[in-house]
Amino acid sequence: MSAPPRLFDRTLHRQRLDRAARGFGEADFLHRRAAADLVERLEAIMRDFPVAVELSSRGGAFGAALAQSPARERVGLLVETDLSAAMLAGRGGPRAVVDEEALPFAPESLDLIVSTLGLHWTNDVVGALVQARLALKPDGLFMASFLGGQTLTELRQSLVAAEAEILGGAGSRVSPFAEVSDAASLLQRAGFALPVADVDRVNVSYEHPLRLLADLRRMGETSVLAERHPKPLSRQLLARTSELYSERFGDAAGRAPATFEIITLTGWAPHESQQQPLRPGSAKMRLADALGTVEQKLPR
C-alpha cells in the first residue's frame, strides 16, 4: 500500500507553533470559540469520561472552558497535549508533547479524545482518526474541530489574482482545507460509529489585510506546505494582494473581512450497545402507508 502524500512539513509546523506560543493569547479567538463549542456539546452527553485526552490544546482554551462547565464533573483526568512543547509551557496539570500523526496511547485506554483545531495540519487525516479510534475504549467518544474549505477564501483569491498579474501564474501559498460535505465520511472511513459533522462560519473584520496575516502568524496558522511556492512572498506581491483584497472584499467602512470555517466532527468507537441500521427488507410497514399516501408505480 502506498503512503499518503506528504502535504505538510510537520517539523516546520512545530517550529511555527513554537514561535507563536508567546503571543498566542493575542489571537486565540478561533481556538476559544471552537473549544467553547466542544464543551457545550459535551454538556449534552450525560455520561462519565474517567480518562480524557485533548490533542492540539495550544493555549488551553478547552480545559479553561471545561473548568467553567457542569460537564467538568463528568470528566476525570484531562491530559492536554500538543505538537509544540512551548504551547504547553506555563500552566499546570498533566501535559504531554504528542504528534497527532503518531499517537502514543495504548489500545482501548481512553474514554474521550478531543482535538481542537489541529487535524487540518495532518498529512493523513483518516490515519490519524484510525489511531484515535483504536486508543478509545468501546463506546468511547471522539470530538474534533478543524478548519474547513471556505477558510481564508478572500485571501486565497487575492493572492491568486496578484500572482497571475505580477508573476504570470499562481502557485500554492494557502493550505488546502477539507469540505464539510466530506467531513462525516472521514469518520466512517476511520471506523467510527454514529458520525456527525456540522459547520460554524466565522466572519472577522480587520483594519487592513496585513492585520489578518499578523493574526495568522500569532495563531501558528501560516502555511507549511511541503511543496512551497519557489518564489518568496515579496513586498510587491504582498502590497498588490492587499490592494486586490480591499478592492474586491473591503466593506463600506474600508475594513477587510475574513472568513473562517470551523467543521466539528463527533463519532463513537463501535460498541454492541449502539444503535444499528436495520437489515434491508426488514421494514414492517411500507413508506407510503407511513406517510398516508398512495404508492405510484413508475412506468417501465
Cβ atoms of 169 and 229 within 8 Å: the answer is: no
- What is the dihedral angle through the alpha carbons of 44, 49, 52, 58, rounded to the nearest 10 degrees? 20
C-alpha closest to that of 98 among 113, 76, 108, 77: 113
Q: Is 10-151+177-204+260-272 in CATH node 3.40.50.150? A: yes
Residue type, 175: S
DSSP reduced 3-state for 276: coil
Cell of 13: 509546523
Instruction: List the chain pLDDT tens, one digit each, 300 residues.
Output: 566 678 899 999 999 999 999 999 999 999 999 999 999 999 999 999 999 999 999 999 999 999 999 999 999 999 999 999 999 999 999 999 999 999 999 999 999 999 999 999 999 999 999 999 999 999 999 999 999 989 999 999 999 999 889 887 766 677 778 888 888 899 999 999 999 999 999 999 999 999 999 999 999 999 898 887 767 788 999 999 999 999 999 999 999 999 999 999 999 999 887 766 555 555 566 656 666 666 666 565
C-alpha closest to that of 123 among 4, 1, 262: 4
Beta-sheet pairing, 193-206 with 256-268? antiparallel
Contacts of 59 (CB under 8 A, 6+ apart): 24, 25, 28, 31, 87
Cell of 125: 487525516
Show me where the domains of the chain are located.
Answer: 10-151+177-204+260-272
